[in-house]
């Protein structure tokens, strides 16, 4: 309904509306996370204009209620006359116009949501995602925009947008470009480089144990890999923004840039660094996958409502899967590091009972409401890890039936060629492309692994490409309760109880605090506590629930003390070695 209203608003545009929308952000109280926004909309003859702040931001499929930081909203005409307005919902301000006029809007914004990567201001910087700062009107959404910043003199401003008329001002073709082009302004370090005629920037806010030379070396390798999948690059200039923080972590893709947040001390070790460069690869892939082709329901973006799609697994999960391929192909990571990453994803999947309940299509559609925690793990899946494994299964199947001539990368290449924005695609389009490139009908495969919970024969898949998923040597069986805990002082608090497992059947649930097993007080963690007992043994569990001491009988289960690992088989056949190379772009480590 809101999209229809947007079309009606556009139809009511007057002949006055074709001019720039001007935004200005003044940061005068950074220590209090406050900024003042002024907006000038072009002249309009409408009786009223609805001014809105987005309810979510691209790249995070969750309603964020960002209008909660807005105060002191005011509206005036071009002559300075105050205009009447009222809020019609939580993030819409309706301004009434008595005559044709330019419209000036002002308000204060509270920006202290660094971890959401929507808005943050402090005395050292501001991270400006337009969705958290700048209101819009559907009436002027397609007009050119300019943004000017009033910030301290010693701050530097960086964005994927082009500069306008100063070092703290930018311009964009319309609001959609502005919203997908964040600005980092503040005390930062900036590094520029060029690869294959395209310009890149690395801007870092915050001090940390990062190695800039290493980051630059590998980013130069990474940005060359786009041609391994797609036929062209959709940008001439791209910005990597990095926040070295004390707590915020995560990343978000944008049209011409990405923002990556990591703890300031999580760059130096090899594992931490791979975490950083993998994130960079993930967001880089998004420059194509979602920023230049995306599924129905996300085209065009509706910033004030939920954007449903049953293909978010292809948006995010496929990106997670392809990131490791790019890193390995570029020589940034090794075969063993690829196996380690894939092992982590697969083992997480196998330890999630929700994989038997929810399909990747359903978890995509429900991404906006899916919850984490104990219930989520038991009854839901994850568009990232689950989508990555379904993508891998499809990739290996394509490579196997085509003798290495066709891969899942070809699917994404065709999506970019055939469904580049403003077009979109749906599941039928993907299945059509699969048949086009392979000659096979993938409808049954899709129903089995996408539309229903994916029960994948991983051993069979890995055998095709010369890998195996096995327990490392020295693994032994130990007692288990089919759950996990966290230390709660002198107690162990259950954080997850696997659906149908031993603790579940005994009546234990997340939140219960275990005091003792067979009158043995719990130790500092669950493994050392269970080490006192044997698999199959029946134990008495004393625990606290609702501040009362309770007791149940529980028969201990059995599990391996180590997780399975993925590794290369020692003697692959020539076919396995060939398919491995077609799959990952590098030689099988044990090929003859």
User: Mean pLDDT, to the nearest integer, of 8-23?
Assistant: 60
User: Mean pLDDT, to the nearest integer, of 4-32?
Assistant: 68
Identify the band that residue 5 occupies on the pLDDT scale cut at 50, 70 and 90.
very low
Q: 548-555 and 189-195: which strand pairing?
A: unpaired
pLDDT surpasses 60 at 246: yes
Per-residue pLDDT of 292-312, as tens digits, reads 999 999 999 999 999 999 999
pLDDT at 13: 43
CB 265 within 8 A of CB 209: yes
**Cα–Cα separations (whole angstroms), residue 329 to 199, 276, 439, 444:** 22, 17, 27, 32
Task: Tell me the residue ranges of DSSP E strands in 15-122.
Answer: 21-29, 34-44, 48-52, 70-77, 85-89, 92-96, 101-110, 112-113, 119-121
pLDDT surpasses 80 at 1: no
pLDDT surpasses 60 at 59: yes
pLDDT at 544: 97
Per-residue pLDDT of 110-157, as tens digits, reads 999 999 999 999 999 999 999 999 999 999 999 999 999 999 989 999
Per-residue pLDDT of 568-583, as tens digits, reads 999 999 999 999 999 9
User: Mean pLDDT, to the nearest integer, of 90-101?
Assistant: 95
pLDDT at 18: 58
Least confident of 65-69, 215-219, 292-296: 65-69
pLDDT surpasses 70 at 194: yes
Per-residue pLDDT of 330-377, as tens digits, reads 999 999 999 999 999 999 999 999 999 999 999 999 999 988 899 999
Backbone angles phi, psi at 457, to 5 degrees: -85, 85
Q: What is the 3-state secondary structure (H, E, C) of 252-299?
A: EECCCEEEEEEECCCCCCHHHHHHHHHHHHHHHHCCCECCCECECCCC
pLDDT at 17: 46
pLDDT at 11: 42
Per-residue pLDDT of 460-481, as tens digits, reads 999 999 999 999 999 999 999 9
CB 482 within 8 A of CB 503: yes
User: Mean pLDDT, to the nearest integer, of 481-507?
Assistant: 96
Per-residue pLDDT of 423-438, as tens digits, reads 999 999 999 999 999 9
Per-residue pLDDT of 372-412, as tens digits, reads 899 999 999 999 999 999 999 999 999 999 999 999 999 99
> Half-sphere exposure of 353 toward its Cβ, with a 13 Å CA cutoff?
16
> Half-sphere exposure of 46 toward its Cβ, with a 13 Å CA cutoff?
25
Q: Which bin fits 391, alpha (ψ -120 to 50), beta or left (φ > 0)?
A: alpha
pLDDT at 247: 83
Which H/E stretch holds residue 449? helix 443-449
- Euclidean distance between CA atoms 192 and 213, whole angstroms: 12
Q: How many CB atoms lie within 10 A of CB 89?
A: 12
Residue with more model confidence, 28 or 194: 194
Distance of CA 181 to the CA centre of its chain: 16
pLDDT surpasses 60 at 4: no
């Amino acid at each position: 309904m809101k999209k229809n209203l947007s079309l009606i608003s556009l139809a009511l545009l007057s002949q006055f509306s074709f001019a720039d929308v001007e935004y200005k952000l003044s940061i005068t109280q950074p220590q209090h996370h406050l900024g003042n926004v002024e907006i000038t909309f072009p002249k309009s003859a409408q009786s009223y204009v609805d001014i809105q702040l987005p309810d979510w931001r691209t790249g995070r499929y969750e309603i964020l209620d960002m209008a909660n930081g807005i105060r002191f909203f005011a509206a005036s005409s071009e002559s300075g006359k105050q205009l009447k307005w009222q809020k019609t919902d939580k993030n819409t301000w309706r301004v009434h116009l008595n005559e044709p006029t330019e419209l000036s809007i002002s308000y204060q914004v509270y920006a202290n949501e660094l971890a959401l990567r929507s808005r943050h201001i402090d005395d050292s910087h501001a991270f400006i995602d337009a969705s958290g700062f700048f209101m819009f009107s559907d009436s002027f959404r397609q007009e050119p925009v300019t943004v000017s910043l009033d910030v301290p003199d010693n701050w530097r401003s960086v964005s994927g947008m082009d500069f306008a008329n100063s070092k703290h001002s930018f311009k964009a073709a319309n609001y959609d470009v502005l919203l997908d082009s964040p600005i980092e302004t503040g005390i930062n370090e900036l590094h520029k480089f060029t690869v294959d005629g395209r310009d890149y920037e690395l801007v870092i806010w915050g001090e940390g144990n990062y190695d800039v030379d290493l980051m630059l070396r590998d980013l130069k390798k990474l940005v060359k890999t786009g041609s391994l999948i797609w036929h062209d690059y959709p940008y001439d200039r791209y910005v990597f923004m990095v926040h070295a923080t004390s707590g915020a972590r995560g990343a978000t893709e944008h049209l011409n840039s990405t923002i990556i947040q990591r703890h300031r001390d999580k760059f130096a070790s090899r594992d931490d660094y791979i975490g950083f460069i993998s994130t960079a690869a993930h967001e880089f892939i998004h420059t194509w996958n979602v920023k230049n082709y995306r599924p129905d329901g996300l085209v065009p973006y509706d910033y004030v409502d939920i954007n449903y799609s049953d293909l978010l697994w292809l948006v995010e999960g496929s990106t997670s899967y392809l990131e490791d391929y790019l890193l390995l192909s570029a020589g940034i990571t090794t075969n063993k590091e690829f196996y380690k990453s894939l092992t982590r994803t697969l083992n997480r999947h196998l330890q999630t009972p929700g994989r038997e309940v929810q399909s990747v299509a359903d978890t995509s559609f429900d991404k906006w409401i899916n919850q984490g925690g104990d219930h989520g793990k038991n009854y839901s899946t994850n568009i990232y890890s689950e989508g990555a494994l379904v993508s891998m299964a499809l990739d290996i199947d394509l490579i196997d039936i085509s003798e290495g001539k066709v891969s899942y990368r070809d699917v994404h290449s065709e999506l970019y060629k055939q469904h580049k924005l403003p077009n979109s695609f749906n599941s039928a389009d993907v299945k059509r492309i699969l048949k086009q490139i392979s000659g096979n009908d993938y409808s049954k495969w899709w129903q089995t692994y996408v539309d229903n919970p994916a029960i994948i024969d991983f051993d069979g898949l890995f055998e095709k490409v010369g890998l195996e998923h096995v327990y490392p040597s020295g693994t032994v069986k130990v007692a288990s309760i089919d759950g996990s805990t966290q230390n709660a002082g002198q107690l162990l608090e259950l954080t997850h109880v696997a659906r149908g497992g031993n603790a579940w059947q005994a009546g234990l649930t997340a939140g219960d605090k275990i005091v003792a097993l067979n009158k043995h007080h719990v130790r500092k963690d669950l493994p050392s506590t269970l080490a006192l007992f044997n698999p199959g043994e029946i134990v008495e569990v004393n625990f606290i629930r609702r501040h009362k001491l309770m007791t149940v009988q529980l028969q201990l289960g059995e599990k391996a003390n180590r997780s399975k690992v993925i590794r290369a088989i020692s003697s692959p056949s020539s076919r396995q070695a060939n398919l491995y190379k077609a799959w990952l772009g590098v030689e099988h480590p044990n090929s003859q």
